[in-house]
Amino acid sequence: MNTAELHTLTGAYALHALPDSELLAFERHLADCEACTQEVRELSATAARLGLAVAETPSPELRGRVLREIRTVRQEAPAHGRPERSGGGGRTRRWYAYALAACVAAAAAFGGVAVWQNQVAQDARQEADRAQRQNEALARVLSAPDAKTSSGELTGGAHGTVVVSRGLDRAVFLASGMERPPSGKVYQLWFNDAGTMRSAGLMDPQASDDAILLDGPVDRASGMGITVEPAGGSAEPTSSPVALMDFPTA
What is the count of structural domains for the chain? 2
Whether residue 66 sits in one domain with residue 39 = yes
Domain boundary (135, 158, 182) is at 135
Residue 179 in any domain: the answer is yes
Whether residue 131 sits in one domain with residue 9 = yes
Whether residue 125 sits in one domain with residue 17 = yes
Residue 152 in any domain: the answer is yes
Residue 80 in any domain: the answer is yes
Average pLDDT over residues 206-210: 81
For residue 85, what pLDDT is reported? Answer: 47
Domain boundary (113, 135, 157) is at 135
Q: In percent, how much of the chain has pLDDT > 90?
A: 22
Whether residue 237 sits in one domain with residue 164 = yes
Whether residue 155 sits in one domain with residue 49 = no
State the Cα–Cα distance between residues 134 and 86, nearest whole angstrom.
Answer: 37
Residue 143 in any domain: the answer is no
Residue 121 has pLDDT above 80, yes or no: no
Q: Is 143 exposed, middle or buried (0-12, 13-18, 19+ CB in 10 A)?
A: exposed
For residue 86, what pLDDT is reported? Answer: 46
Any bridge partners for residue 224, and if so which? Answer: 191, 245
> Residue 132: which pLDDT band, with cuts at 50, 70 and 90?
confident
Closest CA to 190 of 130, 108, 247, 107: 247
Residue 137 has pLDDT above 80, yes or no: yes
For residue 74, what pLDDT is reported? Answer: 54
> Residue 73: which pLDDT band, with cuts at 50, 70 and 90?
low
When the pLDDT of each residue in the chain is averaged and rounded to a whole number, the result is: 76
Whether residue 95 sits in one domain with residue 17 = yes
pLDDT tens digits, one per residue of 152-188: 888 778 888 899 999 999 999 988 888 889 999 999 9
Closest CA to 243 of 223, 221, 220: 223
For residue 57, what pLDDT is reported? Answer: 58
Whether residue 126 sits in one domain with residue 9 = yes
Domain range for 53 is 3-135
Whether residue 152 sits in one domain with residue 127 = no
Which residues have C-beta within 8 Å of that of residue 240, sequence separation ≥ 6? 227
> Residue 238: which pLDDT band, with cuts at 50, 70 and 90?
very high
Question: 120-128: long-range contacts (C-beta < 8 A, 24 or more apart)?
Answer: 120/46, 123/45, 123/46, 123/49, 124/42, 124/43, 124/45, 124/46, 127/41, 127/42, 127/45, 127/46, 128/38, 128/42
Residue 79 has pLDDT above 80, yes or no: no
Whether residue 63 sits in one domain with residue 153 = no
Domain boundary (135, 160, 187) is at 135
Please state the pTM of the whole predicted model. Answer: 0.50
State the Cα–Cα distance between residues 48 and 94, nearest whole angstrom.
Answer: 22
Residue 81 has pLDDT above 90, yes or no: no
Residue 141 in any domain: the answer is no
Residue 142 in any domain: the answer is no
Whether residue 43 sits in one domain with residue 119 = yes
For residue 198, what pLDDT is reported? Answer: 94
Residue 140 in any domain: the answer is no
Whether residue 120 sits in one domain with residue 15 = yes
Whole-angstrom CA distances from 195 to 191, 220, 230, 245 are 9, 11, 22, 12
Whether residue 77 sits in one domain with residue 23 = yes
Q: In percent, how much of the chain has pLDDT > 70?
A: 65
pLDDT tens digits, one per residue of 88-115: 555 555 555 555 555 555 555 444 555 5
Residue 233 in any domain: the answer is yes
